[in-house]
Chains A and B, each alone.
Chain A
Amino acid sequence: MRSRSPHPERLSAATVGVGVAAVLGIAWLGAVLGPADLGAGEVARAILDRLPWVSLDSGLSARETDILFLVRLPRVVLGLLVGAALALCGAAYQGVFRNPLADPYLLGVAAGAGLGATLAVVGGGGSTGLVPVAAFLGGLGAVVLTYFLGRMAGSASSTTLILAGVAVASFLTAVQTFVQQRNDETLRQVYSWILGRLSTNGWSEVSGVLPYILVTSVVILANRRVLDVLAVGDAEAASLGVDVARVRIIVVLAATLGTAAAVAVSGLIGFVGIIVPHAVRLMFGFGNRIVLPLAALGGAVFLTAADIVARTALSPAELPIGVVTAFTGAPFFALVLRNARVES
């Protein structure tokens, strides 16, 4: 029995293997499903054909190949990246602040990005071209503001930082509401961005966020053991040899960068950053070295699945993905909670 083993609690290769298989499976499903009917086998062959030293005839027409490689796959990959980033960053925030209710938007990223996006829509006369850049800068700016406000209070403790985040978020949301109310003709664009959506124009969104999300993932995953040390509190972690303030700032910066990049291309998609890490904890274990990698894999699967629902449920109309994540995430989480209670 696993719980009697004297070995430390670690992530098994089998679990990671299942997670990776789930990611590949959902990606393949996402590429197959949609308004244009692409065959499951054809999609698999077309993708394999692109691998080096593999040459297969997929049987897809040129138009179908374009749909697959320029419409479906970019969106699927964007979903995987954004989902992985939001869940990983949420788990990182929960670890670094030792607060199970922390989500990636804790320190004001959402409010800052919301304000940035609103200003871009209003300033651009309703065009949404500048929205990603403005949202990215707004989100980063808000967290920097939160950090300096927390430092002004004279302490780098997590409570001060979270309180500063609440203050900054309220302030920026107030400004955003004011700007939006003065320009109500742009309400629709801003609202649709706030609800969150994965929309792609070829591979540009993917290539735009990929570097940020890679850096974020490497930094957070490299700190997974140290984040476990923080679980015993700042003072004890320091006496064990961890530079707590430095770890906190590095992880928060990395998580903020990843979140801001995700928000810039997908708007404010709620629930992923909080539901997925908790589901992983309840199902697989509590240590950060288990939760962080599995949250990334789980987030990728969950958001891609939600996107499949969003674009097929009322096809050809599309549901906002944020609505789907909340609508499916809440009952799913209730189920996980119930099972966890039965087991314990």
Chain B
Amino acid sequence: MTMLTLNDVGVTQGGETLVESVGFSVEPGAWVGIIGPNGAGKTTILRAIAGLIESSGDISVDGKRISQLSIKERAQCLAMVPQRPELPAQMRVIDYVLLARTSHLRFWEMEGAGDLVAAQRALASLGSDGLASRRLGSLSGGEVQRVVLARALVQGGPLLLLDEPTASLDVGQAQNVMAMVDTMRRTRGLTVVSAIHDLTLAAQFCDRLVLVAGGRVSAMGEPRTVLTESSIRTHYGARVRILHEENGSLVIIPLRELEHLPGVGLGGLSN
């Protein structure tokens, strides 16, 4: 059984086709990265899976058609971390994490002791229990990402959707967040689907990659089959060198295209 299946999924908004004929499936416990150039449709696919936008075709999570779930049921089976989460500056971290218990409560119910424990545990598991009393407005970029991940954990579903989780982070924070997601999925058995920009991180952390271009799936499979120097040149218009590490992971290095600069040849700087 698969955790997530997309079958012939399309999204059209205002007469414009953003995504079409997208199909792939994700095994339980896997981490699948959706890669592709800007505007390729990565976020749109995630939003369609999360049920936040209308889509055609079938999307099933954990054997259930997403379109047939109520808003609450959907929130119970998947958590979405947006690229730029809204952070009410005055809200305390613990209150923010507790928001994720909403799908487990009736609208008039308040969170109980059990919910509080779940929130504190989630923060602790991400090394962020010290942040509980801080206001969201006072957090650094890395701290924000951990708090947002803690909120997703507290939501309690088996599927985690991440939209560019490392977008605004420096290289250390980015590595850290990816490692935390990896730990989360291993210890809690989560299935992760993330749109991701950084191809090296994608190659190092994801089990499989789905390369999207122009709203369609252009390639999918293990990182080493999807990420080739020619596919990156074709879809990103970038010249890169791919290093294969001894441990099997890939490193993608962008190369400067010196011949693009007027008046500078490859040896032109030696004069």
List residues of A whose CB falls within 8 A of some B CB. Answer: 3-9, 222-223, 225-226, 228-229, 231-233, 235-236, 238-243, 247, 285-287, 289
User: A8 contacts B88, CB within 8 Å?
Assistant: no
1/0 contact trace for B142-176 toward A, CB 8 Å?
00000000000001000000000000000000000
Whether B125 sits at the interface, judged by CB under 8 Å, is no
Contacts of B94 in A (CB 8 A): 6-8
Q: Nearest chain A CB to B133's CB is how many angstroms away?
A: 6
1/0 contact trace for B203-229 toward A, CB 8 Å?
000000000000000000000000000
Contacts of B87 in A (CB 8 A): 232
Contacts of A289 in B (CB 8 A): 110
User: A240 contacts B155, CB within 8 Å?
Assistant: yes
Checking A8, A231, A232, A247 against B111 with a beta-carbon cut-off of 8 angstroms, the contacting residue is A8
User: A6 contacts B108, CB within 8 Å?
Assistant: no
Whether B76 sits at the interface, judged by CB under 8 Å, is yes
User: A241 contacts B71, CB within 8 Å?
Assistant: yes
Q: Nearest chain A CB to B111's CB is how many angstroms away?
A: 7
User: A241 contacts B52, CB within 8 Å?
Assistant: no
A242-B91 CB under 8 A given contacts A6-B120, A232-B99, A236-B82: no
List residues of B whose CB falls within 8 A of some A CB. Answer: 50, 52, 71-72, 74-76, 79-80, 82, 85-88, 90-92, 94-96, 98-100, 102-103, 105, 107-111, 116, 120, 129, 132-133, 155
A239-B75 CB under 8 A given contacts A6-B94, A231-B91, A287-B91: yes
Contacts of B76 in A (CB 8 A): 241
Assembly CA distance A235 to B86 (angstroms): 10
For the residues of B in contact with A, the DSSP-based class is mixed
Contacts of B116 in A (CB 8 A): 7-8
Assembly CA distance A168 to B79 (angstroms): 39
User: B120 contacts A286, CB within 8 Å?
Assistant: no
Contacts of B92 in A (CB 8 A): 8-9
Q: Which B-chain residue is minimally distant from A226 (CB atoms)?
A: B107
A242-B102 CB under 8 A given contacts A231-B88, A236-B85: yes
Assembly CA distance A286 to B96 (angstroms): 12
Please, could you name 22 A-B residue pairs with CB atoms under 8 Å apart, sorted by A?
A5-B133, A6-B120, A8-B98, A8-B116, A225-B102, A225-B110, A226-B102, A228-B91, A232-B88, A236-B82, A238-B71, A239-B50, A239-B75, A239-B80, A240-B75, A240-B99, A240-B102, A240-B103, A241-B72, A241-B102, A241-B103, A286-B90
Question: Which 7 pairs from chain A and chain B are nearest by CB?
Answer: A241-B103, A241-B75, A286-B90, A233-B86, A222-B108, A6-B132, A231-B88
Contacts of A232 in B (CB 8 A): 85-88, 96, 99
Q: Which A-chain residue is minimally distant from B96 (CB atoms)?
A: A232
Q: Nearest chain B CB to A288's CB is how many angstroms away?
A: 11
Checking A3, A240, A242, A285 against B133 with a beta-carbon cut-off of 8 angstroms, the contacting residue is A3
Q: Nearest chain B CB to A59's CB is how many angstroms away?
A: 46
Contacts of A8 in B (CB 8 A): 92, 94-95, 98, 111, 116
Q: Nearest chain B CB to A334's CB is how many angstroms away?
A: 21
Assembly CA distance A233 to B86 (angstroms): 6
Contacts of A287 in B (CB 8 A): 91, 95
Q: A6-B94, A232-B99, A238-B71 are in contact. List 15 more A-B contacts (CB 8 A).
A: A6-B129, A8-B98, A8-B116, A222-B108, A225-B110, A232-B85, A235-B52, A236-B85, A239-B79, A240-B75, A240-B99, A240-B103, A241-B75, A285-B90, A286-B90
Contacts of B108 in A (CB 8 A): 222-223, 225
Contacts of B105 in A (CB 8 A): 225
Residue among A4, A9, A223, A240 having the largest count of chain B Cβ atoms under 10 Å: A240
Contacts of B95 in A (CB 8 A): 8-9, 228, 287
Contacts of A222 in B (CB 8 A): 107-108
Contacts of A242 in B (CB 8 A): 71, 102
Contacts of B71 in A (CB 8 A): 238, 241-243
Q: Which A-chain residue is minimally distant from B79 (CB atoms)?
A: A239
A6-B133 CB under 8 A given contacts A228-B99, A287-B91: yes
Q: Nearest chain B CB to A207's CB is how many angstroms away?
A: 27
User: A236 contacts B86, CB within 8 Å?
Assistant: yes
Assembly CA distance A307 to B151 (angstroms): 46
User: B103 contacts A238, CB within 8 Å?
Assistant: no
Contacts of B111 in A (CB 8 A): 8, 225
Q: Nearest chain A CB to B194's CB is how many angstroms away?
A: 15
Q: Nearest chain A CB to B80's CB is how many angstroms away?
A: 4
Q: Which B-chain residue is minimally distant from A6 (CB atoms)?
A: B132
Q: Nearest chain B CB to A69's CB is how many angstroms away?
A: 36
Contacts of B85 in A (CB 8 A): 232, 236
Contacts of A9 in B (CB 8 A): 92, 95
Assembly CA distance A226 to B257 (angstroms): 53
Assembly CA distance A168 to B52 (angstroms): 30
Contacts of A285 in B (CB 8 A): 90
Assembly CA distance A8 to B75 (angstroms): 22
Contacts of A231 in B (CB 8 A): 86, 88, 91
Q: Which A-chain residue is minimally distant from B151 (CB atoms)?
A: A240
Q: Nearest chain A CB to B103's CB is how many angstroms away?
A: 3
A4-B133 CB under 8 A given contacts A239-B50, A239-B80, A240-B100: yes
Assembly CA distance A220 to B106 (angstroms): 15
Assembly CA distance A340 to B205 (angstroms): 46
Assembly CA distance A235 to B90 (angstroms): 20
Assembly CA distance A242 to B100 (angstroms): 10
Contacts of A225 in B (CB 8 A): 102, 105, 107-111
Assembly CA distance A286 to B95 (angstroms): 11
Q: Which B-chain residue is minimally distant from A1 (CB atoms)?
A: B133
